[in-house]
Amino acid sequence: MVWIPSVEYIEILYKDQTKVGDIINRQGLISTLDKVKWGIPFQDVPTIWEKVTILYKEIIENHYFSDGNKRIGSLLAYIFLSKNGYEFSPPKGDIYRITLEVAQGGKKFNEIKEWFKMNSKKEV
C-alpha cells in the first residue's frame, strides 16, 4: 500500500515549515492528491515515480499556498519517497536547481520522473 499524504498532513507540515500564510487553493490540493492516488484520467495506474512527480510538480506549479510552494513541494516529495521505502539523495544542489526549473516551466513530466528514479534507491 502506498502512503499518500492527506490535506491535513500537508496543512500541518506547511504551518510548521513556513510559520506564515495559508492554503489558498485547498480544492486544487485535494485534486492533486486524487491524481497522486488514482493517476491522471484515462492513463494507466501510476507508478511510485509518477505519483511523486505529480505531487512535486503540481504543488510547485499550481501555488496552493500563499508562500513556500517550492519548499513544500520539495519536502513532500522527499517525505513521500521515504515513507514509501525509498532513499532520495540527488547530488548537492540538484533539488534547488531542479525545483527552480520546474517552477519556471522548464522541466517536462518525464524528465522529473526520471530524475526521481535515478536519484532514489529502495531502502533495505
1 domain residue, yes or no: no
Gap between the Cα atoms of 112 and 53, Å rounded: 6
Gap between the Cα atoms of 18 and 51, Å rounded: 24
49 domain residue, yes or no: yes
The model's pTM is 0.94
2 domain residue, yes or no: no
Which residue, 103, 82, 113, is CA-closest to 5?
A: 82
Domain count, the chain: 1
70 domain residue, yes or no: yes
Contact present, 61 and 105 (Cβ < 8 Å): yes
Q: pLDDT truncated to tens, each residue of the chain (124 aa)?
A: 899 999 999 999 999 998 877 789 999 999 999 999 998 777 788 999 999 999 999 999 999 998 999 999 999 999 999 999 999 999 999 999 999 999 999 999 999 999 999 999 998 8
pLDDT at 69: 95
100 domain residue, yes or no: yes
CATH number at residue 26: 1.20.120.1870
Type and span of the H or E element at 120: strand 120-122
pLDDT at 10: 96
For residue 114, give its domain range: 7-122
Beta bridge partners of 120: 88
pLDDT at 22: 79
pLDDT at 124: 81
pLDDT at 106: 95
